[in-house]
Structure 1
């Protein structure tokens, strides 16, 4: 089998989405609806854990939310007025049911369920230390490290144990935790991964994106601040804790470029409006004479609208996407495999034939997608094909909860822009500058000393230490040295 979504397969992938609600009679059903809205953040697996006042109940399954959580018998088996859920696309840990979240454990204080968006960049080191001290792991997920750190903490209260655990981890995390005492939502001190709070009647809701509130009819209250813990007790009291002190936030800039749905609000900004502004800035920096501006569906649409409005070149749908094709199908040979590409996307030949076109996409990762798109436009009769990318070149891997190819597989790491243009066979290729991207986000430019966002995938400026990655690099160098000696 291969994917029938060749454009999306060459995208960076967010690890997951989380959703939780406290104080609702139909908590698990509301969580299921919220997870539907967050499905774009992870299509590999989904899970929900509920609390009925006495016991925790969990259902986890491989695949999409639809088909697993739209059955009455599944929701009835998840009773209670508090629940949290998770959709997953793995960046750490194997693809198996034991890694599907929420993860659950019985601690000395009672049940403990956790849903995590992000990546713990020192998880392997912590895991080795915990195993030496006697911990027994049931999964290969980095999230389980948090559970063991809480379980082995010498602090007295559960909240203090949890804070103690968080102070030992590096990297990025937004967490929703359920305990017999209530629900905790928290965000790492740099706020790399998003988390928002809303209200549905008297119920408090947390989610990765505000679009999940829209789906369930909830009101958006605010973002959880970087380094903030919000506790909701089962009697409805809400408390905020900030145990990490003052740290300069660095939220992920790629949430605005690609990850979040355009109808979401991320850190107070409309994603749709930001992407249009990115497209407009891209047109200012990289103009070209052409007949049409054409988006690569669906993620390139808002930036293409902004580019067209700024440049005065008409916006047109030159690539038509079918939304009725399943994700995989049997491929009997190379010829049919090539034809299968057009099941998902097809060129609007009558529009494109003989025209000079500007293709707008959000990013170039391996370059295979851009190559296919340019080829598709050539075959449809385009006179010229110019590509404009609504982000700077992706030259570095992400270690904060985004599934990124190894750095050597990133096209922008291997080639300069001219080489990339030759690789995809475009008449021209240009990217928005890093300062232009910041300008579209409302900043004058990227600050060299204190950048406002995590933009490591573009700049290589990682805002935290990368313990596991550094150890892996050293180990690899030692192995290469040993091979040379032999």
Structure 2
């Protein structure tokens, strides 16, 4: 594609169904032109705002909360795009990292709590916004800084303008970014995801001293913690589960049957490393418990003498409404 401003989006939907009409970036045409928007996160008051807008005559083309944001910006546009975006983000509640194109400018916005990550990089003569710093490495961009909580950045031919639209809220990271979502080669708000996960494994080794023969990980997101546990405990780290690289994340499959099938397709025990051994298996988190139950069963069938399950994150005990797909508390193990 030709042009000098672009946005893209690769996140699965947690609000609204996963069909083509809901695919982002979302493009909205309005009196003054068009707005393109991509959104990572979840709004908690989108339904309330949508109902109000529909009562006032607005028409929605999708079932996603992101369209509420685009609609509000378009409605406020007579005030100028900066004020329109500021008014919009002061009205929405929840988690959001936004990239927006309007008036040939690239705009990034991070929610007032900094729940979802967003960072800025420099590429040749231009700039890049990304939800993870590893994306900058991939395109050869240089990391500049994280966008701050409650900050909006406007990028155009003049460079980067920063506006703090809300500095009243405390920073509240989504810990699941460090636990599971982010890649280990990313840094979020100055913290290395890899080191965070490895250190969690080391702390586990201090808290749970287990007599065992091998430490294995549930790949891939449990690997760093398992390495940390092995380093701190002195028990050798080994490969116990082989991951099928062509299968996506079981955690985000749409139903229980699909998740159980995906576990069998995704992970297979390496019997040579498991048979007749006392195994410490480290996972990054347990959400529904589907994966853990099936893996322990598979390790037992592969001949493991003992299977000790350790988890490197605190228990997930409540539903999340900010972008992790755990809508029902009864689904949590």
Q: Name the TM tier (shorter chain).
A: over 0.9
Once the two structures are TM-superposed, the CA of residue 285 in structure 1 deviates from its matched residue by 1.2
Number of the residue aligned with 2:152? 229
Shift of the 339–127 alpha-carbon distance from structure 1 to 2, 3 Å rule, reads closer
Once the two structures are TM-superposed, the CA of residue 88 in structure 1 deviates from its matched residue by 2.6
Once the two structures are TM-superposed, the CA of residue 247 in structure 1 deviates from its matched residue by 2.0
Shift of the 244–199 alpha-carbon distance from structure 1 to 2, 3 Å rule, reads same
Q: What 5-or-longer segments of structure 2 have no aligned partner?
A: 251-258
Question: What RMSD over aligned residues (CA atoms) do the two structures have, in Å?
Answer: 1.9
1:393 lines up with 2:315 in the alignment: yes
Number of the residue aligned with 2:253? none
1:318 to 240, 265, 270: 240
1:250 lines up with 2:172 in the alignment: yes
SS at match of 2:121: strand
1:275 lines up with 2:197 in the alignment: yes
Q: C-alpha separation between the residues in 1 aligned to 2:8 and 2:175?
A: 25
Once the two structures are TM-superposed, the CA of residue 181 in structure 1 deviates from its matched residue by 4.2
C-alpha contact (below 8 Å) 1:109/1:158 kept by paired residues: no
Q: C-alpha separation between the residues in 1 aligned to 2:197 and 2:185?
A: 11
Once the two structures are TM-superposed, the CA of residue 323 in structure 1 deviates from its matched residue by 2.0
Once the two structures are TM-superposed, the CA of residue 155 in structure 1 deviates from its matched residue by 5.4
Number of the residue aligned with 1:353? 275
**Deviation by residue 1:288-344 (Cα, 9 ceiling, x = unmatched):** 11111010111110000000111111100011123256999xxxxxxxx99985543
TM-score, with normalisation over the residues of structure 1?
Answer: 0.65
Once the two structures are TM-superposed, the CA of residue 153 in structure 1 deviates from its matched residue by 2.3
Shift of the 340–125 alpha-carbon distance from structure 1 to 2, 3 Å rule, reads closer
Q: C-alpha separation between the residues in 2 aligned to 1:339 and 1:167?
A: 43
Once the two structures are TM-superposed, the CA of residue 81 in structure 1 deviates from its matched residue by 1.0
Number of the residue aligned with 2:27? 104
TM-score, with normalisation over the residues of structure 2?
Answer: 0.93
Q: C-alpha separation between the residues in 2 aligned to 1:259 and 1:237?
A: 31
C-alpha contact (below 8 Å) 2:39/2:97 kept by paired residues: yes
**What count of residue pairs does the alignment treat as equivalent?**
325
1:182 lines up with 2:105 in the alignment: yes
Q: C-alpha separation between the residues in 2 aligned to 1:240 and 1:338?
A: 46
Q: C-alpha separation between the residues in 2 aligned to 1:269 and 1:397?
A: 25
Please say which of residues 78-87 and 303-312 is displaced more in the overlay. Answer: 78-87
**Deviation by residue 1:210-241 (Cα, 9 ceiling, x = unmatched):** 111111111000000000000012x1421000
C-alpha contact (below 8 Å) 2:213/2:279 kept by paired residues: yes
Q: C-alpha separation between the residues in 1 aligned to 2:227 and 2:243?
A: 17
Shift of the 291–224 alpha-carbon distance from structure 1 to 2, 3 Å rule, reads same
Shift of the 344–152 alpha-carbon distance from structure 1 to 2, 3 Å rule, reads closer
Structure of greater Rg: 1
Q: What 5-or-longer segments of structure 1 have no aligned partner?
A: 1-77, 329-336, 412-486
Number of the residue aligned with 1:291? 213
What are the residue-to-residue correspondences of 1:26-45 with 2, within 5 Å? none
Q: C-alpha separation between the residues in 1 aligned to 2:207 and 2:262?
A: 36
